[in-house]
Structures are given as structure tokens and as C-alpha cells.
């Protein structure tokens, strides 16, 4: 019987998958060190602490922006702001999470989205959420996303959430120039928050862009 149990345990062990590759909680570890809470770094409940930080930070971010939106009646909150926030606080050292990439990327998405609307004569038409999607709307959406990808590569400002921003515009959800400027201002506010929090956490987070360090001379 014991031999059978051992065989079954070996079978289960052979079928078990290797551990997941997951992000490291750089921001919460940095903040713990900053506030002298070294005991939290590497603590068994570290990921729960990271989850709590993410909850509070995300809640405050969107509350502030939604409050501004309510006061000035402008779209300070829009869907692609969420992915940008996650990039800022989950992978702050990636090129896509730098202030330059976020601000330029969303600006490119807004310009390409509105340019596609204008080219197809849809800037004053109801959004795709309210009207049937016709051939012109399909072309506008496809063209806006394609141009956004091209220009982000050309200008070295790849920021994936900008792909959602351009579709928000080309699908007619946000179309007025004033609202487009408001969206870019909301991105700038979120970027400022990322700079303050990440640098306060001791992360080598750029104020604008990542640069290659010059090679050390022999």
C-alpha cells in the first residue's frame, strides 16, 4: 500500500507544472523600505500587501480623475487610462511605461483617431455604440489603429494602451477637439502621479525617458 502511495505521489510530481513567472512588487517593496517597514519585504503576505496597494492607488487615481470629470464635465476618465496605470505601477522600468511613451503614445492615438474620422467624414456622426457600423466606420477604425501602430514605431513611443485610445476616437465615442485635449491632460496627470510614486519608492524611474547608459571605458 505504501509503495502504491509513493508511486502516485511521484506521478503527480512528474505532472506538476513549473512555477509561474510573475511580476515582482517593485513599487510596494520600495515604499516599504522608504517608510522603514523592511520586515514587509519578502513577507509571506507580500503579494496581498501589493494587492491592497494596487486597490487603494487605483481607487484614488480614478476617483480624482472622475471628480475632475464631474466638475468640468469633460472625459478625464476613459477606458485606456486603466492599462496605462497598470503599466506605470506593475512594470515601471519597461520602456512602454515611461512618461515619454505614455504621453506621446496617447497623443498619436488621438491624432490618428481624429484624422481617420475627418478623412471618412464621420466627425459629426453618431458613435458606433449608437448607430449601425457601416463600411466607413470599419475603415476609420482599422485605419486609426494601423496608423497609430506605425507612428508609435516611427517616433519610438510604443505604448500599447494608445491602441484603445485611437479606437475610442475613431468609433465616435469621443470626437470633439476639446475633449481630445482633456484626455491628453488626464494622461499627463496620471503620468505625474507615476513619477511621484515610483521615484518616492526608490525605483530608478525616469522623469521623461529611458536612455542607454554610455559604456564604461577601460
pLDDT in tens, 49-80: 778 878 888 888 888 888 888 887 887 888 89
Q: Is 135 exposed, middle or buried, given 0-12, 13-18 or 19+ CB atoms closer than 10 A?
A: exposed
pLDDT confidence of 10, banded at 50, 70, 90? low
Closest CA to 162 of 79, 75, 62, 74: 79
- Owning domain of residue 134: 26-200
Give the total number of structural domains in the chain. Answer: 1
Residue 141: its pLDDT value, please?
97
Share of the chain above pLDDT 70, in %: 83
Residue 85 lies in a domain: yes
Residue 69 lies in a domain: yes
Residue 1 lies in a domain: no
pLDDT confidence of 2, banded at 50, 70, 90? very low
pLDDT in tens, 126-168: 998 888 889 999 999 999 999 999 999 999 999 999 999 999 9
Residue 20: its pLDDT value, please?
61
Residue 3 lies in a domain: no
| Under 8 Å between Cβ of 54 and 61 | no
pLDDT confidence of 5, banded at 50, 70, 90? very low
Residue 18 lies in a domain: no
Contact residues for 158 (Cβ-Cβ < 8 A; gap 6+): 95, 96, 101, 105, 152
Residue 138 lies in a domain: yes
Residue 216 lies in a domain: no
Closest CA to 126 of 175, 165, 77: 175
Residue 185: its pLDDT value, please?
94
Rounded to an integer, what distance in angstroms lies between the CA atom of residue 152 and that of residue 107? 10
Confidence (pTM): 0.83
pLDDT in tens, 194-208: 999 889 888 889 999
Q: How many residues does the chain have?
A: 218
Residue 9: its pLDDT value, please?
53
Residue 211 lies in a domain: no
Grid coordinates given for 25:
512588487
Contact residues for 217 (Cβ-Cβ < 8 A; gap 6+): none
Grid coordinates given for 140:
476609420
Amino acid at each position: 500500500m505504501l509503495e502504491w502511495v509513493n508511486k502516485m505521489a511521484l506521478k503527480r510530481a512528474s505532472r506538476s507544472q513549473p512555477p509561474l513567472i510573475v511580476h515582482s512588487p517593485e513599487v510596494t517593496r520600495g515604499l516599504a523600505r522608504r517608510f522603514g517597514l523592511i520586515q514587509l519585504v519578502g513577507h509571506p503576505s507580500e503579494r496581498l500587501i501589493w494587492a491592497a496597494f494596487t486597490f487603494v492607488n487605483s481607487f484614488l487615481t480614478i476617483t480624482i480623475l472622475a471628480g475632475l470629470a464631474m466638475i468640468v464635465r469633460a472625459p478625464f476618465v476613459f477606458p485606456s487610462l486603466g492599462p496605462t496605470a497598470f503599466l506605470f505601477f506593475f512594470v515601471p522600468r519597461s520602456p512602454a511605461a515611461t512618461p515619454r511613451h505614455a504621453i506621446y503614445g496617447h497623443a498619436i492615438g488621438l491624432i490618428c483617431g481624429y484624422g481617420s474620422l475627418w478623412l471618412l467624414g464621420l466627425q459629426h456622426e453618431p458613435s458606433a455604440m449608437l448607430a449601425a457600423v457601416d463600411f466607413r466606420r470599419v475603415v476609420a477604425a482599422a485605419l486609426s489603429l494601423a496608423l497609430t501602430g506605425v507612428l508609435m514605431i516611427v517616433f519610438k513611443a510604443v505604448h500599447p494602451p494608445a491602441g484603445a485610445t485611437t479606437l475610442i476616437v475613431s468609433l465616435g465615442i469621443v470626437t470633439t477637439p476639446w475633449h481630445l485635449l482633456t484626455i491628453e491632460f488626464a494622461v499627463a496627470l496620471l503620468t505625474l502621479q507615476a513619477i511621484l510614486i515610483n521615484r518616492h519608492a526608490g525605483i530608478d524611474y525616469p522623469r521623461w525617458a529611458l536612455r542607454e547608459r554610455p559604456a564604461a571605458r577601460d
